Amino acid sequence: MSDLLPAAPEAANTVDARGSACPGPLLEAKKAIATVKMGDVLEILSNDPGTKDDIPKWAGKVGHKYVGHMIADGYDRIFVRRGK
């Protein structure tokens, strides 16, 4: 996905899935989304290149909103707003 953010939104929780290969980051995000309130943002840290595609697809399927991502030093910061 190409939704590169200029600044990070405020995240209610962060999941550090760096070092985890697919589907690990997605599974971590699925578990962690329940830890944030509806309308709040979950941040997923991942260095697996497929995560930038997997997270937006998952979010759209289950009623959450993919906010975008940022590139950090060797990993991506991916943001999802809880929708349900």
Catalytic residues: 22
Phi, psi of 50 (to 5 degrees): -75, -15
With tokens 């989304």, the residue in question is: 33
What's the chain's Rg over C-alpha atoms?
11
**Could you give the angle at the alpha carbon of 45 between the alpha carbons of 44 and 49, nearest 5°?**
105
Rounded alpha-carbon distances, angstroms, from residue 20 to 7, 30, 62: 25, 14, 22
